[in-house]
């Protein structure tokens, strides 16, 4: 047991108590294995368990975290949570404001529940000027891109907003969650990242492999296979701050270059800035743990289940029989785009019977927030 000549790490993933046979007090040993471009993994054997230990990334690389349990002393560390800062990029448009207010309401409600590793909260307001919500939501004002640079594609301001915030703000937490106004915390969200490996949500429409020709313009072959580019956007992502500090300026450059290239602009359209983040992180050798349970997207996901965030980007249209009429205005509907100029009214009607639980939960959560936020309809 002591002398692992060749360690089968795959077996370790599934076997938690490999050390049971030998009552060793404490043996530390280190070994490395080549796993693509992954770094060394250091293992700790303590008493009856073989466990993984630290995966540290000082070179911007990616780690693998093969084993399940941790020794007692590390468990204590783990129990002392690793909070992340919630960073919400936003504008001062009415449409952005009401979503931020609901978002922040649910952050406050879930923050201190068991399982949550949420730390502080900042709305990064990238319109350049304070707005009426400064007292309601912790906010830092940053500059928008110089006039004309975003070419009407407002989300190009996001990477620039992160660059400025990371430079200017004093952030207590070591990790950051990049969030968006149309996110509702439906369950307390733990820190899903693992050391140097951030966690992201795989979007079905982000397909680097199917866009190899375009990706290669920004991620040349010498960097590695196109599969290194994750099928994600910048949000939601939980990432270590020092990694985001490296990625954010590249993300900004890549998004501007992509916008400048007509073929890329046309092909990627409104998801261009998501691809830009995926490419920028790959350029820094950072890959993400892909967590399907990070979010749910009504009406496509029918139940909340074990997921953490409701992302209400899609319109929910149903007839009174509870049948989805996607793309066609429903007899009952909830669509954030119905409220471009101001907040939805309080107490929206609940969906008819037969509509999925995810949609009903979304509307109930919107209603709860709007009922409890003072001066809801005046902002």
Ligand X SMILES: *[C@@H]1O[C@H](CO)[C@@H](O)[C@H](O)[C@H]1NC(C)=O
In the bound state with ligand X, the residue whose beta carbon lies nearer, of 90 and 276, is 276
x/- contact string, 102-141, with ligand X (CB under 6 A)?
Answer: ---------------x------------------------
In the bound state with ligand X, the residue whose beta carbon lies nearer, of 15 and 194, is 194
Sites for ligand X among residues 265-284 (CB under 6 A): none
Residue 187 binds to ligand X (criterion: CB under 6 A): no
Binding span for ligand X by CB under 6 A among 89-97, 156-164, 191-199, 287-295: 191-199
What minimum distance in Å lies between the beta carbon of 257 and ligand X? Answer: 8
What minimum distance in Å lies between the beta carbon of 210 and ligand X? Answer: 26
Among 15, 48, 187, 194, the residue binding ligand X under the rule CB under 6 A is 194
x/- contact string, 313-352, with ligand X (CB under 6 A)?
Answer: ----------------------------------x-x---
User: What CA–CA distance (Å, rounded) separates 328 from 100?
Assistant: 27
What minimum distance in Å lies between the beta carbon of 350 and ligand X? Answer: 7
What minimum distance in Å lies between the beta carbon of 93 and ligand X? Answer: 27
Residue 250 binds to ligand X (criterion: CB under 6 A): yes
In the bound state with ligand X, the residue whose beta carbon lies nearer, of 132 and 377, is 377
Among 32, 36, 128, 195, the residue binding ligand X under the rule CB under 6 A is 195
What minimum distance in Å lies between the beta carbon of 265 and ligand X? Answer: 18
Residue 190 binds to ligand X (criterion: CB under 6 A): yes
In the bound state with ligand X, the residue whose beta carbon lies nearer, of 181 and 275, is 275
Residue 42 binds to ligand X (criterion: CB under 6 A): no
User: What's the Cα-to-Cα distance from 307 to each of 190, 259, 350, 355, rounded to whole Å?
Assistant: 11, 33, 22, 19
Q: Which residues bind ligand X (CB under 6 A)?
A: 78, 82, 117, 190-195, 249-250, 253, 347, 349
């Amino acid at each position: 047991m002591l002398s692992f000549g060749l360690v089968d790490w795959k077996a370790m993933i599934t076997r938690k108590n490999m050390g049971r046979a030998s009552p060793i007090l404490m043996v530390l040993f280190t070994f490395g294995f080549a796993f693509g471009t992954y770094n060394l993994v250091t293992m700790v054997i303590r008493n009856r368990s073989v466990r993984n230990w630290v995966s540290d990334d000082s070179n911007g690389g990616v780690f693998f975290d093969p084993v399940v349990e941790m020794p007692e002393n590390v468990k204590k560390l783990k129990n002392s949570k690793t909070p992340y800062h919630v960073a919400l990029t936003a504008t001062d448009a009415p449409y952005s404001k009401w979503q931020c207010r609901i978002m922040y309401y649910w952050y406050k409600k879930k923050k201190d529940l068991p399982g949550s590793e949420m730390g502080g909260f900042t709305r990064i307001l990238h319109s350049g000027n304070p707005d009426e919500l400064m007292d309601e939501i912790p906010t830092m004002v940053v500059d928008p891109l110089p006039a004309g640079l975003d070419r009407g594609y407002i989300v190009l301001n996001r990477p620039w907003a992160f660059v400025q915030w990371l430079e200017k703000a004093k952030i207590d937490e070591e990790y950051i969650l990049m969030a968006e106004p149309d996110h509702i915390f439906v369950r307390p969200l733990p820190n899903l990242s693992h050391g140097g490996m951030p966690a992201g949500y795989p979007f079905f429409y982000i397909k680097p492999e199917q866009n190899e020709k375009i990706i290669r313009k920004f991620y040349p072959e010498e960097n590695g296979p196109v599969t290194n580019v994750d099928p994600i956007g910048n949000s939601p992502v939980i990432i270590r701050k020092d990694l985001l500090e490296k990625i954010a300026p590249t993300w900004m450059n890549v998004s501007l270059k992509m916008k400048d290239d007509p073929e890329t602009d046309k092909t990627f359209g409104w998801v261009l800035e998501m691809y830009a983040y995926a490419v920028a992180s790959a350029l820094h050798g950072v890959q993400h743990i892909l967590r399907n349970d990070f979010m749910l997207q009504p009406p496509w996901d029918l139940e909340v289940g074990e997921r953490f965030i409701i992302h209400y980007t899609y319109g929910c249209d149903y007839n009174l029989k509870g049948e989805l009429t996607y793309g066609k205005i429903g007899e009952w509907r909830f669509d954030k785009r119905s409220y471009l100029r101001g907040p939805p009214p309080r107490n929206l009607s609940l969906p008819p019977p037969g509509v999925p639980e995810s949609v009903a939960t979304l509307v109930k959560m919107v209603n709860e927030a709007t009922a409890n936020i003072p001066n809801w309809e005046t902002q």
